[in-house]
Structure 1
Amino acid sequence: MCGIIARIGETDDAVDELLVGLENLEYRGYDSAGLAVKNGRGPTVFKREGQISNLKDLLANEVPSGELGIGHTRWSTHGPPTDENAHPHTGCSDRVAVVHNGIIENHDALRTELSERGHYFKSDTDTEVIPHLVEEHLADGATPEQAFRRTVQRLSGSYAIAMLVDESDAIYATRSGSPLVLGVREGKYYLASDVPAFLDFTDEVIFLDDGDVVVLEPGHHEITTLDGEPIERPTQTIDWDPEDAGKGAYDHYMLKEIHEQPTSLRQTLRGRADPVTGDIHLEDFPPGTFEDVERVQFVACGTSYHAGLVGSNFIGSRGLPSQTFLASEYAVSRPPVDENTLVIGVTQSGETADTLAALREAKDGGARTLAVTNVVGSTAARECDDALFIRAGPEIGVAATKTFSSQVVSLSLLGERLVRDVVGHRSEGITDVLSALSDLPDHVQQILDYSKAHRIAKQYHDSEAYFFIGRGSVFPVALEGALKFKEISYEHAEGFAAGELKHGPLALVTPATPVFAVFTGRHDQKTLSNVKEVEARGAPVVAVTSDANEAVVQHANDVLTIPETHPDVAGILANVQLQLLSYHAAEQLDRPIDKPRNLAKSVTVE
């Protein structure tokens, strides 16, 4: 879950561009940061524990010049965040500098082997075995490229690696199970874990596959297999403006991305549904695409898992057998699949390791796979049989916001396509659903303009715990509301199916535990009964509902209001209110909202 950036060109301003890339990648890790630059001599390494600002302070007095360099921002897996554990790592002679994302699973055996041959190690990381292995091959007479390839052949696990070597003015890189993308600009090349790293410099990219080996020289690049066979990879243009990946006038990326939802939802919906005729127009999925499907399985993690639950509820309630699984569990205990099973991987980045593992497991079992993702060219999009892009634009905040909304809308449209192909007819009342979806951007804007979430967050800021409940299609929204709250406020928060409160969680309810109850206009009386159980124990209740729902409003201590809409769409609006609630709660506690402790945006390790 670390971030890699590399740059090579004919000008000696590599460090300046590497620092920009590191700052653009800081959402992938912020435990420590470092870079290595080269200009006519061996790699010079600079690295510091903590945020990138610490590294910039180290470089403040003198910025080293160089035409090529590598950089890294770390999210710790092996060893605590310290100067020694920060990347880049070098070997015994400092001839080789390496940055790495992923996990080298056989690093213990390699470290023992290298130590027995006289190598000494300075860090606790798994990465450090890589430069030591390269040094050995160089000492045996291998060229830098040969040494790199032979070293990679010894590694087991997941990795993206970039390397500098004293004897060469090239950058050597490869990937296996961790993302790496090549940016192309006249006279320059960039390598990064994610496109936003180099969007300031180029929007021309080449997405690399597992097993690709890249050698970069000024004005020239070569992509081959590990055995040296040449590979052609297409160059694509990314339709993201660099400003889309910046904070603009907002204090935090998260708040910016919450407020971007009207725009991202319009992008998700554009050209895909006609609320007048009820037609669905998904680019690569014309009518009949899924007529052989008999059952659907969703696999996902975190926020994407909650979106998958909403998608499963949508199509399951319309007659198509559907289940949602945590990808990490699916990968180790796959349910039965066959050629008539469609397995949908929901992943914002398209690089989530657990989700990729689940999709590969499903494919090995004979299932058809489909990625629902935000990133064109991502591993999930390339490995699955099909891909549907949510078109939400870049999301930098660790806490997912606009991508959840766009995922749910995309899954609703995909779900209707599936229902029509498999069940054989349109969903009952689908024109009302599509009409509500078309109104969604404007309804979200109303919430953003008039939300009382700031006041509610302040009112309950000193509570002992926070509970979120929902029923049916908004049970996943309750889970998502609790997840957002806990991950950025660090306060204890739990989401429950409303009917399950009385089967155990009610023991936790006290006057110091506010309960946020989500209502959609469907099953409200049952959820209201659960609210009364809470009130009987003295807990304050905040209802998330429309003003028109008078019976609910009368029983709540406070209300977070959403515009009146179709029950299948109300959860998206409720979620926006809960996003704002979490944001303001964290802000009042002075939490690092965009960089919550122990978390990173793209989880590329299992």
Structure 2
Amino acid sequence: MRLIEGTYGIAVLHADFPDRIVVARNGSPVVLGIGEKEMFVASDIAALVAHTRQIVTLDDGEMATLKADDFRTYTTEGTRTTAEPTTVEWEAASYDMGGHDTYMHKEIHEQAEAVDRVLRGRIDDRFSTVHLGGLNLDAREARRIRRVKILGCGTSYHAGMIGAQMIEELARIPADAEPASEFRYRNAVVDPDTLYIAVSQSGETYDVLAAVQELKRKGARVLGVVNVVGSAIAREADGGIYVHAGPEVCVVSTKCFTNTTVAFALLALHLGRTRDLSVRDGRRIIEGLRRLPGQIAEIMEQEEEIKKLALEYAEARSMLFIGRVRGYPVAREASLKLKEVSYIHAEAYPASELKHGPLALIEPALPTVAIVPDDDLLEKNRAAMEEIKARSGRIVAVAHREQEKADHTVVVPKNEDELDPILLGIPLQLLAYHTALALGRDIDKPRNLAKSVTVE
């Protein structure tokens, strides 16, 4: 193993030793399943839960020997290591389609239940805050934070953009999000007063994990926001939040994205109440969080209407997504969803930047999806739609009320301004899904993509 370079997860059989399997890990996940007189090895917990719920996740540079009734772990230098099995909460039934045609459709419809799960047991009504015991961050340390930097890739990066806005709004701490794949290569200045947050659905995303390891090497405090318990990022981080979305099989993330944004709302509320957020505002956000599952269920009732929209726009060769401030990360994520699952080219742009170049693209053949929350920027968003209509552009608005400048409006229930982005993206998941369905795409396994991105 010392001769091998690069990233790998290897399982080896030897004809002279038929009673054992030897496995090794560097960068790519390797998970052991501990059963009764039987052992398993896989690259993902999903493959194991039908057989056992006792698992051991190898660390980078770690090896293991498995026999039917025993396993041993050690370093590539041969030093024994101690690995205690952990119990996975997920059950094999969680991986059934449950009457849906695809996992993506099932997971979109599981979001109300998933959001309820991430909130459960965490709200503290007495002090209008939340309990996040896994942060390993006491109130004094929280008050010393001067900046928050969120790192993720793809959908996790977009969730981080929404999270950064909520942290700034509720905790009044400067915050921003950056692709982890860029951060780890630009020799960033690591500030001891900055809290770094690594976001990954699988907890194994290589670019994010490498950024975490570099930050830890430089002495930074790093929290993880992940879905998979015991994953590499969860183990490397100083603390964090599990998003409890449950298993997500479809390559395209939906419920995990939503739960991650809710987890960021919890963190923003926690940091805000530790600092200067009033009891009244804390209570307002808590009430908004509790409304989310019911409002998600309301959005699901509009699926047939959204399906008709998808059929109307499925022949478009390209689509533009626009939004301002809170709406812009929603536009980014919706654009990514459409690209991933339907293969239609899509681009997201801040609505305020339309006049600085993209307006030249507007024509009837380029539909625009506008994110129009009912907030203090409503009139600004309406002005952007007027610019598009003046150039014969077609518009689908996702808004809290009908928009007369739009050709079609998908009306989303109103929550607190800070929490609205969590809901605004959900109908656009359905739009991407039904567009892909209309085009006959392989929805759960889009071409060229993988669920856990464990390579650079």
- Contact 1:374/1:393 (CA < 8 Å) preserved in 2? yes
The ranges of structure 1 where at least 4 consecutive aligned residues each deviate by more than 6 angstroms after the TM superposition are: none
Return the alpha-carbon distance in structure 2 between the equivalents of residues 297 and 456 of structure 1: 37
Secondary structure in structure 2 of the residue aligned to 1:351: coil
Q: Which has the higher contact order (CA 8 A, sep 6+)?
A: 2
Mapped to 2, the partners of 1:390 and 1:346 lie a distance apart of 10
Match 2:162 to one of 310, 318, 323: 310
Distance in 1 (CA, whole Å) between partners of 2:186 and 2:279 is 33
Q: Report how far residue 365 of structure 1 moved.
A: 2.4
Identify unmatched segments of 5+ residues in structure 1.
Answer: 1-151
Alpha-carbon distance, 1:456 to partner: 0.7
Q: Which residue of 2 aligns with 1:530?
A: 384
Matched, 1:346 2:199: yes
CA distance in 2, matches of 1:357, 1:289: 25
Match of residue 373, structure 2, among 510, 520, 526: 520
Answer yes or no: is the 8 Å Cα contact 1:287–1:417 preserved in 2.
Answer: no
Q: Give the 3-state SS of the residue equivalent to 1:153 in structure 2.
A: coil
Identify if the C-alpha distance between structure 1 residues 326 and 428 changes in structure 2 by more than 3 Å, giving closer, same or farther: farther
CA distance in 1, matches of 2:252, 2:298: 22
Which residue, out of 132, 137, 161, partners 2:10?
161
Do 1:174 and 1:212's aligned partners in 2 also have CA atoms closer than 8 Å?
yes
Output aligned runs, 1:112-191, within 5 Å. Answer: 152-169=1-18, 170-191=20-41
Tell me which residue corresponds to 1:386.
239
What residue is the counterpart of 2:265 in the other structure? Answer: 412
Corresponding residue to 2:66 among 190, 195, 216 = 216
Offset, 1:166: 1.3
The whole-number CA distance in structure 2 between the counterparts of 1:182 and 1:292 is 40
Given that residues 184 and 205 in structure 1 are in contact (C-alpha distance below 8 angstroms), is that contact kept between their aligned partners in structure 2?
A: yes
2:336 equivalent in structure 1:
483
For 1:220 and 1:366, how far apart are their aligned partners in 2? Answer: 38
Residue 393 of structure 2: aligned partner: 539
Aligned CA RMSD, in angstroms, stands at 1.5
Q: Which residue of 1 aligns with 2:358?
A: 505
**Residue-by-residue CA offset, 1:365-387 (whole Å, 9 max, x unaligned):** 22110110001100000011112
1:115-514 equivalences in 2 (<5 Å): 152-169=1-18, 170-274=20-124, 278-285=128-135, 287-318=139-170, 319-421=172-274, 423-426=275-278, 429-451=281-303, 452-514=305-367
C-alpha distance in structure 1 between counterparts of 2:140 and 2:159, whole Å:
25
Q: Which residue of 2 aligns with 1:89?
A: none
Q: Following TM superposition, by how much is the alpha carbon of 1:469 offset from its aligned partner in structure 2, in angstroms?
A: 0.9
SS at match of 2:443: coil
Q: Shift of the alpha carbon at 1:519? A: 1.7
Alpha-carbon deviation of 1:223?
1.0
The letter for the 2-side match of 1:566 is E
Which residue of structure 1 lines up, in the alignment, with residue 419 of structure 2? Answer: 569
Deviation at 1:428, TM superposition (A): 7.0
Alpha-carbon shift at residue 427 of structure 1 (Å): 8.0
1:594 and 2:444 matched? yes
Assess if the C-alpha contact under 8 Å between 1:275 and 1:435 holds in 2: no
| 3-state SS in 2 of match to 1:554 | coil
How far, CA to CA, are the matches of 1:229 and 1:246 in structure 2? 41
Distance of 2:240 and 2:9 partners within structure 1: 24
> 5+ residue gaps in structure 2?
none
Residues matched between the structures, number: 450
Task: Kindly name which structure, 1 or 2, has the bigger radius of gyration based on alpha carbons.
Answer: 1
> What letter corresponds to residue 290 of structure 1 in structure 2?
A
TM-score, normalised with respect to structure 2: 0.95
Q: What is the letter of the counterpart of residue 546 of structure 1?
A: H
Cα distance per residue 1:239-276 (max 9 Å; x no partner): 10111122221111100000000111011111212468
Q: Percent sequence identity over matched residues?
A: 39
Separation (CA, whole Å) in 1 of partners of 2:67 and 2:414: 59
Superposed CA offset, 1:26-66 (max 9, x none): xxxxxxxxxxxxxxxxxxxxxxxxxxxxxxxxxxxxxxxxx
Looking at structure 2, the residues matched to 572 and 455 of structure 1 have their Cα atoms a distance apart, in angstroms, of 23
1:580 aligns with 2:456: no
Per the TM alignment, residue 322 of structure 1 is displaced from its structure 2 partner at its CA by 1.1
